[in-house]
């Protein structure tokens, strides 16, 4: 019973991290930043910074809890995004009082494009996350549960490519020049791949600690 209770708590914590990261991505996506890694300067949305955490969490969930639980968390993230979209709209319906620290113009300036950002993110997110979970289990089955690095990176690389193409295309086709859109896709995808490679040791560490805690063999999932 103690192990079951611990597994339930772990699942809830990972789910909370996932949803919080996803919602944050949507809320800060309108700001674009420059990130200099020495060999290249990336121009990316600030929303890209917490986004790799969502893929790390879904990979851990897939590895430990299985495909159904991972897909459940992906769907919960979609529901959370819909609610955020609703609440942002409600915030714009009511006028700010004269003494409000944030007036209507400031609120609309920050969130006027939030609906399009979140809608774009939701479409890309659903495709990318479900692809990530499916590809993770495809490689897990192909390798008989071995080679964590392979399924962690191959699933993320494929899904991140889909996500980057979809979200940039939905947001900026008709707004930016085609060359700028292509460059944004390249920068966003390359940055995500670098982060995915960097978080591989973290995936090994966390999944290893969880397996040891629950006495799981490599590739084995919690019932």
**For residue range 115-143, what is the model confidence (pLDDT) as tens digits?**
666 677 777 777 777 777 777 777 777 77
pLDDT value of residue 9: 92
The answer for residues whose C-beta is within 8 angstroms of residue 36's C-beta and 6 or more apart is 42
pLDDT value of residue 37: 84
Helix pair angle (200-214, 148-172), 10° resolution: 130
CA–centroid distance for 17 within its chain? 10
Q: Which residues pair with 35 in a beta bridge?
A: 42
Secondary structure (3-state) at 36:
strand
- Which parts of the chain are beta strand (E)? 32-36, 41-45
Q: Give the Cα separation of 168 and 157 in Å (integer).
A: 17
Q: Which residues pair with 214 in a beta bridge?
A: none
CA–centroid distance for 16 within its chain? 12
pLDDT value of residue 11: 93
Buried-state track 35-48, b at ≥16 Cβ within 10 A, e below 16: eeeeeeebebbbbb
pLDDT-flagged residues of the chain (< 70): 1, 112-118, 145, 147-149, 152-153, 219, 223
For residue 204, give Cα distances in angstroms to 62, 68, 158, 201, 217: 13, 21, 20, 5, 14
Q: Give the Cα separation of 121 and 164 in Å (integer).
A: 10
Other Cβ atoms less than 10 A from the Cβ of 16: the count is 13
DSSP state of 176: B
pLDDT value of residue 20: 92
Q: Give the Cα separation of 22 and 53 in Å (integer).
A: 9
Burial class (CB in 10 A: 0-12, 13-18, 19+), 58: buried
Q: Give the Cα separation of 147 and 165 in Å (integer).
A: 28
Specify the pTM: 0.79
CATH architecture of 2-214: Orthogonal Bundle (1.10)
């Amino acid at each position: 019973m103690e192990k079951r209770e611990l597994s339930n708590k772990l699942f809830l914590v990972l789910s909370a991290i996932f949803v919080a990261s996803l919602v944050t991505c949507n809320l800060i996506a309108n700001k674009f930043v420059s990130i200099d890694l020495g060999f290249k300067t990336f121009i990316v949305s600030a929303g890209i910074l917490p986004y790799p955490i969502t893929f790390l969490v879904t990979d851990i969930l897939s590895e430990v809890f299985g495909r159904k639980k991972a897909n459940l968390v992906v769907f919960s993230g979609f529901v959370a995004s819909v609610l955020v979209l609703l609440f942002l709209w409600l915030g714009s319906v009511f006028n700010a009082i004269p003494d409000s620290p944030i007036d209507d113009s400031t609120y609309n300036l920050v969130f006027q494009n939030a609906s399009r950002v979140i809608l774009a993110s939701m479409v890309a997110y659903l495709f990318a996350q479900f692809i990530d979970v499916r590809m993770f289990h495809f490689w897990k089955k192909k390798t008989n549960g071995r080679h964590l690095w392979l399924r962690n990176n191959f699933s993320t690389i494929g899904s991140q490519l889909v996500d980057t193409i979809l979200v940039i295309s939905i947001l900026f086709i008709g707004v930016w020049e085609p060359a700028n859109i292509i460059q944004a896709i390249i920068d966003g995808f390359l940055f995500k791949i670098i982060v995915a490679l960097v978080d591989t040791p973290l995936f090994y560490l966390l999944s290893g600690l969880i397996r040891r805690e629950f006495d799981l063999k490599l590739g084995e999932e919690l019932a």
